[in-house]
Amino acid sequence: MTSPNSKLAASVCAPASAFDLLQWQEQVQAHTALWRSESSLPKPRRIEVADDTMPADTAFRHISEGASLLWRGDFQNARQLLLALGRRLDKKSRRKSPAKGPAAAGFPHAFHLYRQSQAQRARMLGSILIELDVQWHCALRRAPDWSLACSEAWGAVAAEAPAQSVLVPLRDLLGVVGAHEWRKKGVEIPTLDGARIHAHYGVFSPVRGEYLDLVARASIPAAGLQQAWDIGVGTGVLSALLLKRGVKSVVATDTSERALACATENLQRLGHASRVELQRADLFAQGQAGLIVCNPPWLPGKAASVLDQAIYDEDSRMLRGFLQGLAAHLLPGGEGWLILSDLAEHLKLRTRDELLGWIEVAGLKVLGRDDVRPHHGKVQDREDPLHTARAAEVTSLWRLAAAA
């Protein structure tokens, strides 16, 4: 963890999370384990043991009735069962009348139906459980050693933990492994001359590069060349880009220890350790700056998991907080850059007039706006229930200044 006034730390460890205790009966014996999940799913209410002899239809029925299945068979067969459950959910969804599906409802109702269906799917697929020891090792047959990936994502289990094993949803475990692979590989950033940014688990990866293009071509105000602030540092990619653009130093803030650890690692790898000050802070640092950049989550709504926190901003808290505090933190002649998609407007979760009203009430004026259309795969996916909104989406860099 970085203190509010510390320079870039050498390392920041991923935090160990609090665990709930689970109890169940297995072969007439009482068992206990810690419960670990990144999603908003509650801990299992009823645990049943399952193995390779359980058909997928039976597993689907038990899960539909509210059971969670603790897998005691071959690990690779558990992965096959997860795929089979996914196919059954897809088939069930296709059987519904198109007239009743999310795509047929107008926004925002269609969006809420979509999120509801995604939550139901996550609950079903999160009901296959894997037992790991407190070193994150799995004893199942043909189970890979993914302890390093789990340690990166979840840290260490406290020595005083009240159990010697942990139950995790198989789906969460596979997500941790996928994040580990992405962390090793990294994402190539053309605006950083092809340098790679390595996202940690729970930190949004800069796979959508259009917002970086906006920052790469915006004219930096003279007041911001000495120092810029990066609000919500994430991977540190925007801090690195601002330095490449000629800014001499950056103060970067975030409330997430994972993000601070990730930014630390990336900025050190890129050789920027001496030019970036990381602070654990909610939005702004103390003082003023000539350029303050913020790329908040783009959709108002409650995050269903830690990974959703980069997408959903409940009650637009971060967006409104940035706007409300910006004028007081800008130096004379300074600018605030708000990087924001208008997807929420197309989903009818927020209006343009509402956004402009927040800007005005905050004592700000719009100096200009640069737009770009996203080019990610979902823009072309006509099967996506949100396709019409995604196809119309525009990402903008709003250049803001104090009105007075």
Euclidean distance between CA atoms 19 and 37, whole angstroms: 9
**pLDDT value, residue 304:** 84
Residue 15 pLDDT level (bands cut at 50, 70, 90) = very low
If DSSP codes are grouped into helix, strand and coil, which group holds residue 347?
coil
Give me 143's structure tokens: 């189970």
The model's pLDDT over 279-327, given as tens digits with 9 standing for 90+, comes to 999 999 999 999 999 999 999 999 888 778 889 999 999 999 999 999 9
**pLDDT value, residue 159:** 79
DSSP 8-state assignment for residue 73: S
Residue 11 pLDDT level (bands cut at 50, 70, 90) = very low
- Whether the CB-CB separation of 21 and 34 falls below 8 Å is answered with yes
Instruction: Examine residue 102 and say whether the peptide bond preceding it is cis (omega within 30 degrees of 0).
Output: no
Euclidean distance between CA atoms 306 and 329, whole angstroms: 29
Residue 242 pLDDT level (bands cut at 50, 70, 90) = very high
- What's the first-to-final CA gap in the chain, in angstroms? 38
Does 1 have pLDDT greater than 90? no
Q: Report the candidate in 85, 106, 180 with the shortest Cα–Cα distance to residue 136.
A: 180
**pLDDT value, residue 101:** 52
Does 179 have pLDDT greater than 90? yes
- Whether the CB-CB separation of 340 and 298 falls below 8 Å is answered with yes
- As a 3-state breakdown, the chain gives helix, strand, coil percent values, each rounded to 5, of 40, 25, 35
The model's pLDDT over 123-177, given as tens digits with 9 standing for 90+, comes to 999 999 999 999 999 999 999 999 999 999 999 988 778 889 999 999 999 999 9
Euclidean distance between CA atoms 356 and 294, whole angstroms: 17
**pLDDT value, residue 3:** 35
Q: Any residues with CB less than 8 A from the CB of 82 and at least 6 apart, and which?
A: 125, 128, 170, 171, 174
Euclidean distance between CA atoms 237 and 233, whole angstroms: 8
**pLDDT value, residue 208:** 85
- Whether the CB-CB separation of 274 and 217 falls below 8 Å is answered with no
Euclidean distance between CA atoms 67 and 64, whole angstroms: 7
Over residues 177-205, mean pLDDT: 95
- Whether the CB-CB separation of 309 and 234 falls below 8 Å is answered with no
